[in-house]
Structure 1
Amino acid sequence: MITIQGKSVFGGVSIGKLMFYKRNEKVIKREHISDADAEWKRFEAAKGQAVDQLKELYEKALEDVGEANAMIFEIHQMMLEDLDYLESIENIIRSQEVNAEYAVATTADNFAQMFASMDDAYMQGRAADVKDVSERVLDILCGVSAGVKEMTEPCIIAADDLAPSETVQLDKSKVLGFATMYGSANSHTAILARTMNIPAVIGLGETLSSQYDGKMAVIDGFTGILYVDPDEETLARMQEKRAKDLEQKELLNQLKGKENVTRSGQKINVYANIGNVSDLGAVLKNDAGGIGLFRSEFLYLENSTFPTEEQQFAVYKQVAESMAGKKVIIRTLDIGADKQVDYFNLDKEENPALGYRAIRICLTRPEIFKTQLRALYRAAVYGNLSIMFPMIISVSEVKKIKEIIAQVQAELKAEGIPYKEDVELGVMIETPAAVMISRELAKEVDFFSVGTNDLTQYTLAIDRQNQKLDTFYDPHHPAVLAMIKMAADNAHAEGKWIGICGELGADLELTEEFLKMGLDELSVSPALVLPLRKRIRECE
C-alpha cells in the first residue's frame, strides 16, 4: 500500500480505479518519403477514421446537449472535406515528398494563421476549428490517444492538474473523485469537485505517478490522503467511513423543504453556483432556493468557436424554465486569467489575473458581448432571470454596459423578437476598487454579489492559483471581511440586496459572521446547500 498526503478540497470517501488523464504526446517530424501515392492513401484513411469519430460525437452530443451544441461536430466534418484544405495537404506531400503528419501540421498552421488574421470574428473562430480537426487526424496518424474522453467504468481521475477546458470534456457520470499533483484550493478541479459533490485531493506532488494508472485507490477527502493499492484493513476502514458519511448526508436530506432561518427568526436566501445545464439536477435535488451564479463562460470553454446567439439562448432559456420562477443569476462571460480559450486569440500576459479579462474583453469586443446580451434578454421572457457583470472597477463601466444594453434592446425591438425589458442587473464585487466605490455603484444597479475568491486575491495581493502561497492565503483575513462588510452597508444604504457567490459563502465558520453583516443571500455549490441550511438554522 502506498500512502500519499495531499490537501483536501472536498470531503467524502471515494473508492475505485485510478485513471491518469493523458494528454497528447506526439512529436511531428519532417520525414522524406519515396511513395507519395501510398502516403496520400495513409492520410485519406486517417481522414475517414476522423470523420467516423466526428459522426459518433455528433450523435452523442445530440442526445446530451441538443442540436445547436452538436452542430460543431458537423462543421468539423465539413472542414475535413474542404477542397482547399485537402489540396494543400496533398500538394505538400507530393511536391516536398514528405510524410502526411508534417503535411497536415503545416497546413493546419497555415490555415489557422490565415483565419486568425481576418477581421471577421466568425472567420477568426475557424482558426481553432482547423487546429482541432487537424489534431484529430494527427492523433490517428501518430496512433496516440487524445486524453481521457471515453471512460469505460467509474474511476478516480488522476492528473498533474486539470485546466477548465479539460474538465469540461470528462464524462462526469463516471468520475468518482479527483487526485492531482498540483493545484490550489481555488483551482477549477477543486471547484468542479465541490459542484459535483465528489471527494478531491490536490497537492499530492511527484509521488503521484502514472505508474499507478489502473490500480485500486481510495481518496479520503476528510484527511487529504490518497491510498494506492490499499490493504484489506484500510479498505474496510474506508468503506465504514464512507457509509457513515452517506448516513450523515441522508440526515441532511431531512432539511429539504425547510426554511433558511436562524433560531432568532433571521432569514437568508441560499442559492447554488453552477457552470452547466447538466448541473440543474443537482440544484433541484439539493433544494436550493435559486441559482446565485451561472458561470456562462463554460459555454465558451466547451465550444471550439464562439457560441452563437441561438446556442446561448437555448441554454439560458432551459435554465430559466427549469427553475420555474426561482431566481437565476447569470454572470456574463468571465474569460481570461486562468480560463483561456484558444479561439479568443488572447495574448500571453505577464500578470493575467490583472490583465485583459471578463468585462474588459466584453467592453472592447462588443460584438461578442452583444451576442450574449441578446440571448440573455430573450431568455429572460421564460423565467426569473437576472444578469451580473464581473470584474467591475468603475461607475463608467456600468454606464457603458447600460448603453450597450439599450442598443441590444432597440435591435431586438426593431426585429420584432420578444425580450424582457426590466431585467434585474447586478455587479460582482471582486476588487478593492469596487468596494471603495460601492455606494456609487449601488445607485446604478439592483444588487451586488461578492466574488470572494478574487476579492481575497486582490486584497491580499496573492495569486490564488499559486500553491506556494497557500500558507499566506487567508480568506478569513480581517481586511477581506471588512471589505465585505463595507459593500453590504453601502448596498443596504441604497436599498439594494447583496449576496456572496464565492467559495467563502460555503465556509460554515463564517456563516454567523455573514448573518451579522446582514447579507441577504449566500450562493454555494449544490452539494453544500443543505449543510449551510443546517448551520443557519443552528445560529442565534
Structure 2
Amino acid sequence: MHTFTGVSASPGVVIGPVEQIDHGTTGLHRIVCDPFRERALYDVAVVLAKDELRRLSQRAKGPDADILLFQIALLEDESFTNEIGDYIAAGAGGAAAVERAEQIFARRLRDVDDEYIRERSVDVCDVCRRVVDILDGRPRRRLHLKRPSILVADRFFPSDLFSLDRRMILGLASNQDSTISHAAIMARSMGLPAVLQLGDGVAALAAGKRAILDANLEDGSGCLIIDPDGAHIAQADCKIALNRLHGNESDPVAALPCLTKDGAAFRLLTMTNLSNAEDKALPQAAVGVGLLRTESVILNDLSEAEQLERLKERLEATDGAMLAVRTCDANADDEAPWTAAVRESLQGHRLLWPQIRALLQAAPGGDLRLLFPMIAGAEDWDACLREVTACRDELQSRGIEVGRLPPMGCIVDMPSAALLAGELIQHGAQILAIDIEDLARYTLGLVKDPAAAASRAASPAVQRLVKEVLRQAEGTGVLVYLCGITVASVDQMPAYLHLGIRHFATEPAALLPLKKRLMEEDLNKTI
C-alpha cells in the first residue's frame, strides 16, 4: 500500500481501478529529410491536426470549444509558424522544430504573472503534441474505458478528456496540474473528485492498480491510496455512504444567513470568467459576482459587439445583483503568442478600448462595476479614467448616449496600491477589491509560487497592508472587499473577518467551505 498526498481540487471519495493517460515518449526512430520535404510534411501535419480539432470542437461546448478554437488559432499564428519554419530551414526535422516551439511558447506563458494565463501553457503542449504525433506516425487512438475508472496522468491535456465517455470517469488524479487547470475545472463542473500535485511518478506507479481517491481530507488536501488494505477500504466505503446519504439534497448551510457565531453579518460573492458558457446564474450562497475575469477577450479576440452581448447575458443572469468586471491587462499578457494583433490594436493604450466601450454600453442593464488591475498608484488610475472618458466620447460621437458612468475601482494586487489607497480614493476610486492571493505573491516574493501564496495569504505583512487599506477607506463610503480566494486559501480568511472585511469573493468551489468557516467565528474573541 502506498499513500500520496496532494491538493484537493474537487471534493469526493471513490474506490476503483486506475487507468493512466500516458503521453508517451516522442522522438524515436526519426529520420530527417531535406528542409523542403520536412516543411511539406509539417504543413500536411498541421492540416490534419486542425481537421481533428475541428471535429472535436463540433462535439464540445462552452469553454471546451473555446480551448479547441484557441489551439487551431495557435497553429495559424504567424509567429508560431515562422519559429518552426526557421528551425526547419536551419536543418532540423519538423517534429523537433515543433517540440522546440512548444518549449518556447509554453515557457512564455508559464512566465506570465497571471496564474490563469500560465495554466494555458498546457494548451500549447496539447496541440504541439498532436502535430508531433502525426509527424512521428504515432497512433492517436481514443481511450476506451471498459469500466468506471480513476484516471491518472502526469498532467492532463484538454484533449485527453474531450473524447472520453464521462460516465466512465470516477475521478481524476494528477502529478502536476493546479487547482485552476482544465482538469480541475472539468472535475468541479462534473462533480468528480480530483486530487492534484501528487508528485512525480505517482501516475505511473498507480497505473493498473486499485486505488482510493479521497479529496475530502479535513485540511483541504486529498490523497491517492494505491493498493489499499481492508481497513482503508472500509473507511472509504463509510465516507462514500455518508456522501450518498446527503448527496440528494443541497447542503443546508447554503440556505442559512451569512452570520458569525456572535451575529455579525458577512457577504459572499463569486468569481467567474466571461468565457464560461454555463452556470451564469449566481450560486445560492453568493449575493453577486465580485470578479468577472475577461482573459477571453484577448484569448479569443472578441469584438466589441461580442463582448457587449456576453456582458448583457451576464447582467441578465445576475438579476440585479452586483457584477464587478476585471478589465484586461495587456501588460500581463504581452508575452503570449496570440497577442501580437491585439497589441497592434491597442495603439499605445494600456486597455482594450473595445472592451471599455462594451462595458459602458452594457452598464445600464444592471449593477455593473469596473475594476482595473495592476494599478500602482494615482497616476495609473488617472490614465485609466482618461481612457474611459475617451471611450465615452467616442460612443457619443457615434450617437450612442452614455449616461452616468458605472462605479469604478481597482484591483489591489500590489503593495503600492494598498499603501496609496487614500490617494486612489481621492482620485475617484469607488471600489477597492483586494486580490488577496496576488497581494500575498507580490508582498512575500512568491510571484511564481501561487500555491505557497495561498497558504500564506494571512501572513502578518499582508494583513498589515489590508488593515492599511481599511484605515484609509474608513468613512469614505468606498467598498473594500477581498477577491481571488480559492479553496486553498479558505482557512486564511477568518483573520480578515476579524480585521473588518465583510465581503469575500471566491471561486464557486470555495463558497460553501468559506461560509462554514466564517460562520464558526466569534468576533468577540481575539485570534
State the TM-score, normalizing by the size of structure 1: 0.70
Provide the residue aligned with 1:59 in structure 2.
58
C-alpha deviations, 1:432-471, integer Å up to 9, x for none? 111111111123211111111121122222345177x68x
What amino acid maps onto 1:260 in structure 2? Answer: C
Provide the residue aligned with 1:465 in structure 2.
449
1:486 aligns with 2:468: yes
CA distance in 2: counterparts of 1:280 and 1:407, whole angstroms:
34
CA distance in 2: counterparts of 1:3 and 1:69, whole angstroms:
34
1:207 aligns with 2:189: no
What amino acid maps onto 2:326 in structure 1? Answer: R
C-alpha deviations, 1:159-196, integer Å up to 9, x for none? 4457xxx6699559947655343477x77579848965
From the superposition, tell whether residues 364 and 413 of structure 1 become closer, same or farther in structure 2 (CA, over 3 Å): closer
Contact 1:269 1:521 in 2 (8 A): yes
Provide the residue aligned with 2:397 in structure 1.
414
What amino acid maps onto 1:22 in structure 2? Answer: H
What amino acid maps onto 2:204 in structure 1? Answer: S
Contact 1:10 1:199 in 2 (8 A): yes
From the superposition, tell whether residues 524 and 367 of structure 1 become closer, same or farther in structure 2 (CA, over 3 Å): closer
CA distance in 1: counterparts of 2:67 and 2:9, whole angstroms:
31
Provide the residue aligned with 1:329 in structure 2.
324
Contact 1:429 1:449 in 2 (8 A): yes
Which moves more between the two structures, 369-378 or 332-341?
A: 332-341
From the superposition, tell whether residues 233 and 135 of structure 1 become closer, same or farther in structure 2 (CA, over 3 Å): closer
CA distance in 2: counterparts of 1:409 and 1:288, whole angstroms:
32
CA distance in 2: counterparts of 1:308 and 1:28, whole angstroms:
46
From the superposition, tell whether residues 511 and 99 of structure 1 become closer, same or farther in structure 2 (CA, over 3 Å): closer
Please tell me the root mean square deviation across aligned C-alpha atoms, in Å: 5.2
Q: Secondary structure at the match of 1:205?
A: coil
1:269 aligns with 2:267: yes
CA distance in 2: counterparts of 1:156 and 1:64, whole angstroms:
25
Gaps of 5+ in 1: 113-128, 347-359
What amino acid maps onto 2:441 in structure 1? Answer: Q
Matches within 5 A, 1:81-480: 101=94, 139-144=133-138, 158-160=152-154, 171=162, 174=166, 177-182=171-176, 188=181, 192=185, 196=189, 199-210=193-204, 212-213=206-207, 216-221=210-215, 222=217, 224-230=222-228, 233-245=231-243, 253-262=251-260, 264-278=262-276, 281=279, 284-298=282-296, 300-301=298-299, 303=300, 306-334=301-329, 341-344=336-339, 365-366=348-349, 369-417=352-400, 421-443=404-426, 444-463=428-447, 465=449, 474-480=456-462
What amino acid maps onto 2:3 in structure 1? Answer: T
Per-residue deviation, 1:497: 0.9
Q: Secondary structure at the match of 1:495?
A: coil
CA distance in 1: counterparts of 2:68 and 2:180, whole angstroms:
28
C-alpha deviations, 1:176-219, integer Å up to 9, x for none? 655343477x7757984896575443442223143644655432
Q: How many equivalent residue pairs?
A: 485
CA distance in 2: counterparts of 1:22 and 1:400, whole angstroms:
47
CA distance in 1: counterparts of 2:125 and 2:8, whole angstroms:
37
What amino acid maps onto 2:367 in structure 1? Answer: N
C-alpha deviations, 1:272-309, integer Å up to 9, x for none? 112355475286344421111122125545x4xx3333
Gaps of 5+ in 2: 106-122, 523-527
From the superposition, tell whether residues 514 and 364 of structure 1 become closer, same or farther in structure 2 (CA, over 3 Å): farther
CA distance in 2: counterparts of 1:315 and 1:26, whole angstroms:
44
Contact 1:377 1:423 in 2 (8 A): yes
CA distance in 2: counterparts of 1:243 and 1:391, whole angstroms:
47
Of 501, 512, 521, the residue aligned with 1:530 is: 512
Contact 1:216 1:230 in 2 (8 A): yes
CA distance in 1: counterparts of 2:161 and 2:330, whole angstroms:
20
Q: Secondary structure at the match of 1:531?
A: helix
CA distance in 2: counterparts of 1:66 and 1:411, whole angstroms:
35
CA distance in 1: counterparts of 2:213 and 2:433, whole angstroms:
34
CA distance in 2: counterparts of 1:68 and 1:167, whole angstroms:
11
CA distance in 2: counterparts of 1:491 and 1:148, whole angstroms:
56
Contact 2:409 2:429 in 1 (8 A): yes
CA distance in 1: counterparts of 2:429 and 2:310, whole angstroms:
25
CA distance in 2: counterparts of 1:522 and 1:330, whole angstroms:
15
Per-residue deviation, 1:507: 5.1
Identity %: 26
